[in-house]
């Protein structure tokens, strides 16, 4: 499909959002790779992490009312294979503040297992598990395991506080009755699946079953309750996609399917007793995003597959349109503040991120897309990291990372904008590098 629009030139490696400068419509020329000094200058000097009093904002680890950004893919030249997890804290006035940053590592924050610190330390999910007004972070590790019997739980919790994510992690406690078989208890998904207002967790169990842990959780990582594993027809691996109330009944739902490959999946619906029944079976896909692309308050789905992106309106619905962008990642967010979601597509071409605008009639397969221009991409790899509101204007922003090998990168935040010139700004509002995360 021929696509035209605004070009955002950016590059990203190892994250969820990558923007680069070539391909697609328009005639922009990609600039050469920026000099190391130029990239280094994009990271502000360290500044104190703002202290908060608690909030209900998502991903607000210090509770000051501003969303924070989690970065797993860091420029890590000279820091080994796993440099850790980066956190950039937000400001309620200006959005992300690159100087208010933090590096979380297994050495500094990891909990020991049999006296050993984990070698891996990667973020998995985030939500306020203990209901104190500060978002908590779930981290995946690699505890020692001899391959015999049931492996230990690899998930650890870092609790938020007025000063952010401080202190040592604790191990997530999964009661034996909530496990099945000898698979790893992993693939966590946060959500309020029973509608009681507290965040719960769903984990992979085994043999088309899921582990359901009811929140709130204690500071020692224990759930309020946990029963026997629940059946998950369609597959048994939680996809890692954020939970969402697809059918508007007040209970969060989640998608399960095989990990890191094209496979069929299912939507498991929440209820008074938690997730327990399959609402719809999805065709083969590699990624899914939910949003209100068409009629207001009606939840739709975009399913990315090797052959293109299928659009289902009014889930479960039937496929009504298809966007010819292959091998892509999909994200949804209301970028222009009109109450409808835009579809953000990354990875479908060399360094391209496309934004399809929501409208009353939905997304059309032949719609003109806006291209997010990732700056100075050169031959870098571009990824979309997040689509969310970081500056508090009630419009989602697009965060893109461009990486040049392991030692150079650039992260750019493109604000959403209203009006005819929307739905995303041509110029990044915040730009920084992760090279200074130490």
The pLDDT confidence band at residue 76, using thresholds 50, 70 and 90, is: confident
pLDDT value of residue 20: 32
Among 118-122, 319-323, 420-424, the range of highest mean pLDDT? 118-122
The pLDDT confidence band at residue 9, using thresholds 50, 70 and 90, is: very low
Where is pLDDT greater, at 2 or 399? Answer: 399
**In the predicted structure, residue 295 carries a pLDDT above the cut 90:** no
Where is pLDDT greater, at 358 or 235? Answer: 358
Phi/psi of residue 106, each to 5°? -60, -35
The pLDDT confidence band at residue 320, using thresholds 50, 70 and 90, is: confident
Q: What share of the chain is helix, strand, coil (3-state, %, to 5)?
A: 5, 35, 65
Distance between alpha carbon 132 and the CA centroid of its chain, in Å?
22
Do you find a cis peptide bond into 2, omega within 30 degrees of 0?
no
pLDDT value of residue 324: 83
Among 163, 164, 162, 144, residue whose Cα is nearest residue 154: 144
Q: What is the mean pLDDT of residues 264-288?
A: 89
| CB atoms near residue 364 (< 10 Å) | 13
Least confident of 65-69, 260-264, 329-333: 260-264
Least confident of 209-218, 329-338, 344-353: 344-353
pLDDT value of residue 372: 64
Which residues of 238-323 form beta strands (DSSP E)? Answer: 254-257, 263-269, 277-285, 287-291, 300-305, 308-312, 319-323
CA distance 331 to 335: 11
pLDDT value of residue 433: 92
Among 24-28, 378-382, 419-423, the range of highest mean pLDDT? 419-423
Starting at the edge strand found earlier in the chain, the sheet holding 254-257 runs: 254-257, 263-269, 277-285
Where is pLDDT greater, at 151 or 262? Answer: 151
Tens digits of residue pLDDT in 38-73: 334 455 788 999 999 999 999 999 999 999 999 998
Tokens of 385: 């990291």
CA distance 218 to 195: 19
Among 199, 279, 268, residue whose Cα is nearest residue 238: 268
pLDDT value of residue 422: 79
CA distance 190 to 167: 22
Q: What is the mean pLDDT of residues 7-12?
A: 26
CA distance 240 to 186: 10
**In the predicted structure, residue 426 carries a pLDDT above the cut 60:** yes
The pLDDT confidence band at residue 124, using thresholds 50, 70 and 90, is: very high
Q: What is the mean pLDDT of residues 239-264?
A: 84
**In the predicted structure, residue 260 carries a pLDDT above the cut 50:** yes
CA distance 432 to 390: 15
pLDDT value of residue 377: 52
Alpha-carbon distances of 330 from 164, 174, 289, 385, rounded to whole Å: 30, 32, 6, 11
The enclosing H or E element of 107 equals helix 106-109
Among 135, 266, 268, residue whose Cα is nearest residue 202: 268
The pLDDT confidence band at residue 33, using thresholds 50, 70 and 90, is: very low
Tokens of 297: 């308050």
Percent of the chain with pLDDT over 90: 55
Least confident of 59-73, 137-151, 152-166, 290-304: 290-304
**In the predicted structure, residue 130 carries a pLDDT above the cut 90:** yes
With 0-12 / 13-18 / 19 or more C-beta atoms within 10 angstroms meaning exposed / middle / buried, residue 112 is middle
Q: What is the mean pLDDT of residues 122-131?
A: 97
Where is pLDDT greater, at 12 or 147? Answer: 147
């Amino acid at each position: 499909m021929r696509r035209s629009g605004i070009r955002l030139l950016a590059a990203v490696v190892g994250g969820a959002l990558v923007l680069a400068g070539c391909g697609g419509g328009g005639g922009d020329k990609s600039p050469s790779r920026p000099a190391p000094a130029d990239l280094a200058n994009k990271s502000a000097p360290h500044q104190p992490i703002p202290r908060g009093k608690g909030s209900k904002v998502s991903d607000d680890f210090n509770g000051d009312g501003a969303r924070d950004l989690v970065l797993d893919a860091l420029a890590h030249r000279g820091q080994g294979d796993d440099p850790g997890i980066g956190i950039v804290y937000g400001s309620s006035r200006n959005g992300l503040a690159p100087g208010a940053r933090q590096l979380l590592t297994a050495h500094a924050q990891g909990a020991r297992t049999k006296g050993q610190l984990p070698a891996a330390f990667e973020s998995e999910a985030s939500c306020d598990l203990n209901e104190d007004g500060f978002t908590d972070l779930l981290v995946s590790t690699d505890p020692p395991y001899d391959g015999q019997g049931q492996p230990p739980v690899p998930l650890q919790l870092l609790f938020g506080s007025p000063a952010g994510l401080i202190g040592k992690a604790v191990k997530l406690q999964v009661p034996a009755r909530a496990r099945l078989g000898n698979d790893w208890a992993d693939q966590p998904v946060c959500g309020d699946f029973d509608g009681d207002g507290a965040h719960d967790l769903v984990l992979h169990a085994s043999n088309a079953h899921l582990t359901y842990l009811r929140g709130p959780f204690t500071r020692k990582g224990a759930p309020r309750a946990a029963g026997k594993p629940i059946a998950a027809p369609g597959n048994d691996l939680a996809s890692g996609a954020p939970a969402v109330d697809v059918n508007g009944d007040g209970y969060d739902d989640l998608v399960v399917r095989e990990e890191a490959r094209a496979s069929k999946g299912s939507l498991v619906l929440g209820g008074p007793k938690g997730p327990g029944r399959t609402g719809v079976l999805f065709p083969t896909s590699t990624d899914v995003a939910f949003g209100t692309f068409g009629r207001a308050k009606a939840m739709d789905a975009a399913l990315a597959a090797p052959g293109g992106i299928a659009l289902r309106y009014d889930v479960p619905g039937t496929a009504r349109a298809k966007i010819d962008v292959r091998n892509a990642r999909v994200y949804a967010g209301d970028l222009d503040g009109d109450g409808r979601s835009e579809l953000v597509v990354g990875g479908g071409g060399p360094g391209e991120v496309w934004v399809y605008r929501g409208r009353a009639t939905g997304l059309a397969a032949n719609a003109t897309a806006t291209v997010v221009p990732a700056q100075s991409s050169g031959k870098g790899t571009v990824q979309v990291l997040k689509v969310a509101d970081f500056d508090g204007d009630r419009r989602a922003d697009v965060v893109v990372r461009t990486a040049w090998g392991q030692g150079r990168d650039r992260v750019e935040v493109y604000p959403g904008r209203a009006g005819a010139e929307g739905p995303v700004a041509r110029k990044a509002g915040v730009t920084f590098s992760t090279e200074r995360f130490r």
